[in-house]
Structure 1
């Protein structure tokens, strides 16, 4: 059933807000264009009202979920190509059409470490993709090969590489055409250019830190993962543009009170990260290639100048004195041609001691987002609560799901790749005959429910971690992960226990529970 004028009003529903609250409010959608509308402007300027009203029965109408780390599902593995383009395309389409049952409407197919020659073929086949019944493929997430050998997890050791020529090494592996600077990083419906949205690498690997500035310039998010980076190296990576931590707690050093390493970024000290205090210890790897910069005079007390320093901040921090602007206005202010125009600005830090009770100084850089696999196996519920309590605004729920993700799959041994096998034991997935975790089987809707259970946060706050947070991390919150006017009308209807009842893509219902 369609509306005569294409306008639909979803009424009697709860709408998740970007701060994690739930508000009882109507949602107007233009199903012909597949976008969310501003109800007041539509009524007063277009002098139209919806011809079709849908009573949602008091349920939650959430933005569709975004999974930015998923390796495959329903028997298909994004990292496996068997010399058959048609079969690969069918597999991609099948995953896109079936994953909507879990509430996912956008995803980044993840390619793990490959033999170098395989990348160009795989990535050419993983162009942004969607159809009228499917979730949207936003590009791809490259996890490896620039990662640490000792924290490789299930990645093949013989394929790991250093980035000896910095960004050029990334181009040689992924292909220069896949690392292009885009005019508009939010995908349009007719965008068929392949593109890297997210790279996971270890910043201590030779040459990786050199590539950060260029990746950031091109609007490609950098994530710290499969790494043994010390606190100093991890902090330097964030100061130079790293925006995310890949599957927190997994494939990284565990928290130590003298060197909290990557996990410690969740509680990054204002003193350590302040541009007025250089890093206190000698870095364990050479970072002389980082470009020096000077803070603008407006950031110094009294306008006095200060010596330049390699670790006193980042190029982004040079603009820290600028006021934070609403996310939906950043693209216009930065210019339509800027791929990183949606990335948040940073506030000025406070270098001095103060006497204000309960007020914590702003940092010179934003703490990074962090991906969490909330299946109760990869991270103990106590660890999940510890991370979320430390930095709720940075939490991004991911599945890291492997090809055997299927809610109806029984326990047993299943073929993976290169002669290796998975073993499914309950909700755990291991390399056969070992205790090495090999990704997960959890669905993103279950991650949302688990986060609320494990931490005590509200369902609306848990939803935020699967919608707004990942969209903002990628700089696409104007189109995905929110209910802003002009955003794509991709949403999932949940009951008040977080169970998926139906999924909608571009204003049209594509999946219904029990149908």
Structure 2
């Protein structure tokens, strides 16, 4: 059903604002242009009222959900490319068409560490694309290969590499055309050939990474810290250099330690973070400062994805124990034996990171001074990064979720980090995976058959929103913000996505008051509706 004059009014609904509040207000959209309208301005300029009125019966009308880290869904894995461009595009189309049932209207396909010659082809195929009546594919998120071996999760060890030539190493892997300077991040409606959203997860302590962050950021790439053992100084320097995000907080990084809070500590960064001189302690006997895969041989692992080449045999006892005993792990989990606190690198590298941090901080000007005004926080020397949370109740404890949100609510972004088996219609039971292996699905948990080892996420983003509200005690409107406005702001597209601003894309999801998806709209067209019971 269409409107004769192209104007649609949603009425009797609650609208989530960018501050997380919910207000009762009508919303006008233009289905011909696919955008949200300023009702008052439209009425006075066009002298028209909407000829189609939709009564939402008190439900919530939200911006469409945005998933910036998803590995696959509905049987398709974004990281698997078999040389057939059309088959890959068909898989993307399937995901985009079906994921709207979960309330997602935009996503950033994520590829994990690959053989480096595959990157230019896959990234080119992942340019922005919006099939008819489907979610928007915004671009790409390359998670690896410049990550820490000791925090690799399920990333294949043979393909994890340093960046000895800095930015040139990034260009050699991803392709210079995919890292070109551009202002054309994301245009309304996407469109093949557009550059779109570009994200890279890397470990700043890896050779050449830190020196590349500033230039990558200047080129419009969202740099994210993840799969890393960075110390507090290194992580802080990465943020000062332009890193905007932390990849799946708590997972694949050191645990919080009060003397070196490492990456997790960034969300609670003090205005005087550099004033602390930590008391150093010996490194755990199971590790040394040599965490770089190019420095020494690596251990064998049975968790290497079947499409990858076998890893080298273990010949050095100085490295972390890397064998997983046949476990199939989520790429976000870290089941390797690393110390609970950040492993020390070397005295020279620690001194270098502290010196670099001091230089970065001094370039930011004077820091916050003592003051007498209650409620005012001293100025920060840098803006804290956004951070991702997988809120399936499995990857992180509810207490950890609430702790992070309480420290920095404005930076919280909900993600699924879902695997290709994501499908809310998939029944519990045993399902085929690949190379003769099978999954056991129990609700939102995945196990490799014959083990009790968790094998990834199958939670939907809509359920993450509901879980988040329960775990933190925040309102549903505040939880929605973490899956709409916050990810859009992190990507720099908040004028078009994740918002109800005038002239933003009319990508919308109708939720009932318990957060369940009722209907989904993309470009002012309804693309999915829940069957009434």
TM-score, with normalisation over the residues of structure 1? 0.85
Structure 1 residues 279 and 7, CA, compared in 2 at 3 Å: closer, same or farther?
farther
Per the TM alignment, residue 361 of structure 1 is displaced from its structure 2 partner at its CA by: 1.1
Confirm or deny that 1:11 pairs with 2:11.
yes
Q: Which residue matches 1:312?
A: 361
Q: 1:362 aligns with which of 368, 374, 379?
A: 379
C-alpha spacing 1:284/1:35, structure 2 compared with 1 (3 Å): same
For the Cα contact (< 8 Å) 2:186–2:194, is it kept in 1?
no
**More displaced stretch, 93-102 vs 427-436:** 427-436
Q: Which residue in the other structure is 2:21 paired with?
A: 21
Equivalent residues in 2 for 1:351-390, closer than 5 Å: 352-390=369-407
Q: Distance in 2 between matches of 1:255 and 1:3?
A: 55
Distance in 1 between the 2:269 and 2:432 partners? 42
Measured on the aligned residues, the alpha-carbon RMSD in Å equals 2.4
d(CA) in 2 for partners of 1:92, 1:459: 30
Unpaired runs of at least 5, structure 1:
294-307, 319-347
Check 1:208–1:32 CA distance in 2 against 1; reply closer, same or farther (3 A cut): same
Instruction: State the alpha-carbon separation in 2 of the partners of residues 203 and 419 from structure 1.
Output: 37
8 A Cα contact 1:89 1:125, kept in partner:
yes
Structure 1 partner of 2:316: none
Q: Structure 1 CA distance, aligned partners of 2:523 and 2:187?
A: 13
Partners in 1 of 2:16 and 2:118 — Cα distance?
Answer: 41
Equivalent residue for 1:242? Answer: 243
Offset at residue 438 of structure 1 (A): 3.7
Change (3 A) 1:109 1:50: same
Q: CA deviation at 1:86?
A: 1.8
Residues 239 and 313 of structure 1 are in contact (CA less than 8 Å); yes or no, is this contact kept in structure 2? no
8 A contact 1:132–1:505 mirrored in 2? no
Instruction: Summarize deviations over 1:44-80 as a string: whole Å, max 9, x none.
Output: 1222221111111111000000000000001110111
CA contact (8 A) 1:127 1:139 kept: yes
2:200 is paired with a residue of what secondary structure?
Answer: strand
Tell me what 1:505 maps to: 522
State the Cα distance separating 1:99 from its structure 2 match.
Answer: 0.2
The 1:420/1:122 distance shift into structure 2, 3 A limit, reads farther
The residue that corresponds to 1:36 in the other structure is 36
Q: Structure 1 residues 488, 102: closer, same or farther in 2, change over 3 A?
A: same
**What residue is the counterpart of 2:219 in the other structure?**
218
Q: Unaligned 5+ residue runs, structure 2? A: 281-343
Deviates more, 1:483-492 or 1:117-126: 117-126
Write the distance in 1 (CA, Å) between the matches of 2:211 and 2:276: 20
CA distance in 1, matches of 2:511, 2:160: 42
Q: Deviations over 1:105-125 (max 9, x none)?
A: 000000100011111221222
The corresponding residue for 1:141 is 141
Does the 8 Å contact 1:35/1:507 carry over to 2?
yes
Q: 1:420 to 1:198 in 2, by over 3 A?
A: farther
For residues 407-422 of structure 1, the aligned pairs below 5 Å read 407-416=424-433, 422=439
Whole-Å separation in 2 of the counterparts to 1:166 and 1:411: 46
Number of residue equivalences: 466
Residue 182 of structure 1 corresponds to: 182
Task: Report the counterpart of residue 492 of structure 1 in structure 2.
Answer: 509
Question: Could you report, residue by residue, the CA deviation over 1:258-308 in whole angstroms, capped at 9, with x for unpaired residues?
Answer: 1111111111111116xxx69889994649999x99xxxxxxxxxxxxxx9
Q: For the residues of structure 2 that align with 1:246 and 1:423, how far apart are their CA atoms?
A: 27
Q: CA deviation at 1:84?
A: 2.0
The question of whether the paired residues in 1 share the 8 Å contact of 2:68 and 2:108 is answered with yes
1:333: which partner in 2? Answer: none
Q: 1:409-443 CA deviation, whole Å, 9 max, x = no partner? A: 23455454577654434422345666654431100
**Aligned equivalents of 1:287 and 1:68: distance in 2?**
32
Does the aligned pair in 2 maintain the 1:180–1:195 contact within 8 Å? no
- Aligned with residue 429 of structure 1, among 442, 446, 452: 446
Aligned match for 1:477, one of 453, 477, 494: 494
The DSSP-based 3-state class of the residue aligned with 1:311 is helix
Alignment of 1:98-497 (within 5 A): 98-189=98-189, 190-195=191-196, 197-272=198-273, 284=345, 286=349, 310-312=359-361, 317=364, 349-350=367-368, 352-416=369-433, 422-430=439-447, 437-497=454-514
Partner SS for 1:15: strand
Deviation string 1:485-513 (CA, Å, 9 cap, x unpaired) is 11000000001000000000100100000
Aligned to 1:340: none
Secondary structure at 2:150's aligned position in 1? Answer: helix
Any conservation in 1 of the 2:108–2:141 contact (CA below 8 Å)?
A: yes
Residue 79 of structure 1 corresponds to 79
